């Protein structure tokens, strides 16, 4: 029995030595392979809008500053902004897990989550979660000054770019036209991205365009440097009628200095841009993404004027579906949500 006990003791000692050796090898292997890398894509919009430059700036901040330590080692988050068809395309890609995150208008996000309006024939996207609200998105109706188009009613019979088919801009265009009693039967609708529409207006292949984006919008800025443009106003009466029907919109004034050649402020409506993801995205990853954006917001402001509007206080506004738990954790720490 004594001999057996000695043998067992020796075996246990050998097993312990092997276990410690394997553990040491594993740690050495982790050191050699470096930190765990997590890739996060951000679906934005066309290059001529606001989503793309803002998304690019956010991706740079995340890649530079969102890494964090865990008991198992360092986690390095690498983000990239990708062009896309904007709001509707982005929520579809996120919920289908074709990309980790995306930007979309808050009305589109709500419709996707509830399976209503533009998504009424689809299964509600209940896996969609909000990371944060970003900034106001302004509906801009632009025409060449020489066209004589001054009101929305003047768009009847004209070639009008209404955004990419099924995009948030197109939904806005339909909504604005309908509140004025105008349908696509009354215009020649053209499905185009922001940049394509601006080029088409510049070349006088269309008469007007709709753009829903943060101001100033780069494609319109560029257009206004080569052509005399007019921003078509929505009357206060129609705005009131619209807001009563669609509460996601609110009245907004585009200041006259926004684009070259503007000689007066222009009334229109706005909604909110939001950053969304799938519910399955790691809680710690989302927490550190949000944290990095606000801790390095000055870098964001240097890239685009809309960076000034991206604040923790604005981030929790206009949210009609659940926050992602990682984002919720961060905003609770700031006392912005309960």
Residues paired with residue 188 on neighbouring β-strands, in sequence order: 159
- Cite the DSSP H helix spans in 34-86: 51-65
Among all chains, which residue has been given the structure tokens 């799938």? Answer: 278
How far apart, in whole angstroms, are the C-alpha atoms of residue 117 and residue 88? Answer: 12
Q: Which of 137, 145, 158, 138 is nearest to 231 (CA)?
A: 145
What's the gap between Cα 314 and its chain centre? 14
pTM value surpassing 0.95: no
CB atoms within 10 A of CB 205: 14
- Pick from 103, 195, 205: nearest CA to 147: 205
How many other C-beta atoms are found inside a 10 Å radius of the C-beta of residue 220? 26
Judge whether residue 333 has pLDDT over 60: yes
User: Quick one: pLDDT band at residue 33, thresholds 50, 70, 90?
Assistant: low
pLDDT in tens, 165-207: 878 899 899 999 999 999 999 999 999 998 999 999 999 999 9
Q: Give the residue-averaged pLDDT of 233-252.
A: 90
pLDDT tens figures, 259-316: 998 989 999 999 999 999 999 999 999 999 999 999 999 999 998 888 999 999 999 9
Mean pLDDT of the residues in the chain? 89
Architecture of domain 36-134+274-333: 3-Layer(aba) Sandwich (3.40)
Query: Degrees (nearest 5) of the Cα angle 116, 317, 100?
Result: 65
Domains 36-134+274-333 and 137-272 share a fold: yes
Domain ranges of the chain: 36-134+274-333, 137-272
Kindly report the backbone phi and psi dihedral angles of residue 246, in degrees, each rounded to the nearest multiple of 5, phi listed first. -130, 90
CATH architecture designation of domain 137-272: 3-Layer(aba) Sandwich (3.40)
Question: Which residue from 132, 160, 128 is spatially nearest to 147, judged by alpha carbons?
Answer: 160
By CB atoms closer than 10 A (0-12, 13-18, 19+), residue 153 is: middle
Report whether 189 contacts 160 (CB < 8 A).
yes
Residue 50, classed as helix, strand or coil, is coil
DSSP string, 74-106: EEEEEEEEE--S-HHHHHHHHHTTSSSEEEEEH
């Amino acid at each position: 029995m004594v001999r057996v006990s000695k043998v067992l003791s020796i075996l246990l000692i050998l097993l312990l030595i092997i276990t410690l050796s394997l553990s040491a090898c594993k740690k050495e292997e982790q050191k050699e392979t470096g930190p765990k890398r997590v890739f996060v894509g951000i679906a934005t919009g066309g290059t001529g809008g606001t989503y793309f430059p803002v998304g690019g700036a956010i991706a740079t901040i995340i890649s530079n500053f969102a890494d964090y330590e865990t008991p198992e080692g360092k986690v390095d988050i690498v983000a990239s902004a990708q062009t896309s068809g904007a709001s509707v395309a982005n929520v579809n890609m996120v919920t289908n897990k074709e990309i980790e995150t995306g930007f979309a208008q808050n009305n589109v996000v709500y419709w996707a989550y509830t399976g209503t309006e533009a998504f009424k024939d689809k299964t509600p996207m209940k896996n969609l979660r909000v990371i944060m609200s970003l900034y106001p998105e302004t509906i801009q109706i632009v025409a060449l000054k020489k066209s004589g188009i001054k009101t929305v009613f003047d768009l009847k019979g004209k070639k009008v770019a209404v955004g990419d088919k099924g995009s948030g801009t197109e939904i806005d265009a339909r909504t604005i036209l309908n509140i004025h009693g105008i349908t696509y039967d009354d215009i020649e609708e053209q499905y185009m991205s922001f940049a394509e529409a601006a080029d088409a207006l510049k070349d006088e292949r269309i008469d007007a365009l709709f753009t829903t984006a943060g101001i100033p919008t780069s494609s319109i800025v560029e257009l206004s440097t080569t052509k005399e443009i007019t921003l078509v106003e929505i009357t206060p009466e129609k705005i009131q009628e619209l807001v009563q029907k669609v509460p996601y919109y609110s009245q907004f004034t585009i200041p006259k200095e926004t684009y070259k050649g503007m000689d007066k402020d222009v009334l229109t409506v706005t909604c909110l841009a939001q950053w969304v993801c799938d519910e399955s995205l790691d809680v710690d990853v989302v927490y550190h993404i949000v944290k990095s954006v606000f801790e390095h917001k000055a870098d964001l402001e240097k890239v685009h004027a809309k960076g000034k509007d991206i604040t923790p206080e604005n981030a929790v506004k206009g949210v009609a579906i659940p926050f992602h738990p990682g984002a919720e954790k961060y905003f609770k720490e700031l006392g912005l949500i309960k």
